[in-house]
Amino acid sequence: IVIGRRGGGTRETFMVRKISYGIGVEKIFPLHSPLIENIKVVKQGIVRRAKLYYLRGKKGKAAKVKEKGFIRK
């Protein structure tokens, strides 16, 4: 899940978060990095914040984001 975007232009980055073996892992990627071949949107959720940092303190179902629906291809 993408929990935030920062910067602008060629310096823009995004932060992703996942739970790995019961531990929350976050990683920051440059958006325009040559190592990133493509970015694919799998699901969209309904949130009322630009940054989802509040998910760090949540566990289980509370850490889930409501799904928006189907994405057109």
User: What is the spatial distance between Cα 26 and Cα 3, in angstroms, rounded to a whole number?
Assistant: 9
Buried b (16+ CB within 10 A) or exposed e, 5-32: eeeeeeeeebbebeeeeeeeeeeeeebe
Give 47's contacts (C-beta < 8 A, 6+ positions apart).
Answer: 65
Question: Where are the domains positioned within the chain?
Answer: 2-66
pLDDT per residue of the chain (73 residues) written in tens, 0 to 9: 899 999 999 999 999 999 899 888 999 999 999 999 999 988 889 999 999 999 898 888 888 888 887 666 6
Here the tokens at position 61 are 């179902």
**Amino acid code (one letter) for 61:** K
Question: Looking at residue 64, what is its pLDDT?
Answer: 83
Output the pLDDT for position 70.
67
Domain covering 2-66, topology: SH3 type barrels. (2.30.30)
